[in-house]
Amino acid sequence: MVGIVIVSHSTKIAEGICDLARQMAGPGLKLIAAGGMEDGEIGTDAFKIQAAIEEADSGDGVLILCDLGSAVMSAETALEFLDNPDLRAEIADTPIVEGSIAAAVIASTGAPFDEVRAAALEARTMQKL
């Protein structure tokens, strides 16, 4: 099953998005929050993100969703730190909440990486009204 990592500057936001996505997707999904700094402060930590990616990996790939620009930079750095050349891990350019839920629901069905990524990216065009 494709794993998902939520990267936010806030630990509470990352954990909250994971909670919401789990409610929609159900159990069994590797959905890992990588929010905030190790000391609980606001920020992003490339090593924390790297560990989350490795934890989320089950062999089918890991999709990473980020909240703001420097979270993307930290996630890119984390990708450079990975030692496993076979691990497919990518950042999705999508709204973090909508994209996370869409990706989690599709991932929970056992869909392949490209379908999970496509679901997350589709969230960019979701209208609310």
How confident is the model at residue 128, as a pLDDT? Answer: 83
Mind listing the pLDDT tens digit for each residue in 6-29? 999 999 999 999 999 999 998 889
Mind listing the pLDDT tens digit for each residue in 28-39? 899 999 999 989
Find the helix or strand (DSSP H, E) in which 22 lies.
helix 11-25
Extents of the domains making up the chain:
3-125
How confident is the model at residue 6, as a pLDDT? Answer: 98
Contacts of 121 (CB under 8 A, 6+ apart): 92, 93, 94, 99
Cβ 12 vs Cβ 37: under 8 Å: no
Answer whether residue 104 shows pLDDT above 90: yes
Alpha-carbon distance of 27 to 47, in angstroms, equals 26
The CATH number for 3-125, chosen from 3.40.50.2020, 3.30.2010.10, 3.40.50.510, 3.90.75.20, is: 3.40.50.510
What would the mean pLDDT of 115-124 be, rounded to a whole number?
97
What would the mean pLDDT of 41-64 be, rounded to a whole number?
97
Catalytic, out of 9, 48, 54, 111: 9
Instruction: Provide the whole-model pTM.
Output: 0.96
Contacts of 96 (CB under 8 A, 6+ apart): 6, 8, 17, 65, 66, 67
User: Residue 10 catalytic?
Assistant: no
